[in-house]
Amino acid sequence: MLTLAVMWLIAIMVFDIVLNIKIFQSEDWLAYLEYTFTSILPFVLVYCLVISASDVFLLRKMLRDYPFAKVVFIKAILQFAVMYFIHFVGTYIIFELMPPSSNEAVNAHYAYLGSSLNIFYIIYFFVVSFHFSLYAQVSRKFGSTNLYDIIMGTYFKPKEAQRIFMFLDLNQSTTIAEEIGHLKYSRLIQECFSKLTHHIENYDAEVYQYVGDEAVLTWQKSNSIAAQQCLDLFKDFQDNLDAAAHEFKTEFGWVPKFKSGVCYGTVAIAEVGDYKRDIAFHGTVLNTGARLCQLCKEINEDILFSNSFFSLLTHGVDRLDYIGDYMLTGRTSNEKVYRLLS
């Protein structure tokens, strides 16, 4: 939300300054800057926050079930409409409730903006709305961190990092797919991952990838706080699915349950591919997480944790219970495995 607000602030300031370049004399600029930063800027900041909040908390939920192109255009139009409404409210506040500037050129400038319905104003801000809407959708598609890293080339050369990974896999996926059919099964997966998105945002996680009926989450900060967030995310996600059990049962005939393997360790992060470039993680820690997820099914546990993840916890250690050493596929030594206490 703050990123979008800053983008809107820059767009508005650029528009304002460009208008003034040919109008103001050199002696007008000081008065313009003084009046703008003391009287206008605080209001504009609220203005930008309202626009960005409407996008994050309202439009995003309203348009969740629309395809990419429609979302971009609808959001651009609605965002522009919100901006235009705030523009007229702001005009009233500035001219009716706030004292004018001592400089007549500055007053004339803001009077022009207040009454402006010219084609340049409309085109500029609609184009801005469209591009910001496009950026927001692309950012959600690739993940804001991934998009930034790809643009900046952060991992053009592989780098090492400490990461927590959570593998979430749907129980009885083959049975469910065979019973309800692939199309209905796909809608079930969509609904599950849609509910998961809310928890991803609440607990500062990122989606590494979706693979069929499996989601792989990661945390950029690998500390005890992130580890605690990992525990809370799984519990809240399961509670969310349980709360919607009647809806799932009515529509699909099944109530989804997920198994999870959680691990922590060092991975290499690299930008891979040319035609479809992406950020990839490499390392044995990923194999550990996937094998723990598989082990859940074998010993009938909902979620299992590696020893390295247990070592990362400083709070919430009492929520985990050691259940034994297991030889995971692909490993040469046993892994101490922990479960989540109910």
pLDDT tens-digit map of 189-238: 999 998 998 898 889 898 888 888 899 999 988 888 999 999 999 999 99
**Which two three-digit tokens encode residue 148?**
């930034």
Which class would CATH give 151-340? alpha beta
Quick check: 127 pLDDT over 60? yes
Model confidence at 67, pLDDT cuts 50, 70, 90, reads low
Segment 269-287, tens digit of pLDDT: 888 877 767 788 898 889 9
Taking the domains of the chain in order of start, what are their residue ranges? 2-142, 151-340
Token couple for 172: 């009885």
Helices (H), 93-223: 104-115, 119-142, 144-152, 173-180, 182-202
Centre a 10 Å sphere on the Cβ of residue 243 and count the other Cβ atoms it contains. Answer: 10
**pLDDT at res. 105:** 80
pLDDT on residue 147: 62
Distance set, CA 314 to CA 42, 310, 319, 338 (Å): 42, 9, 11, 15
Distance CA 342, CA 327 (A): 25
Rounded average pLDDT over 140-152 = 63
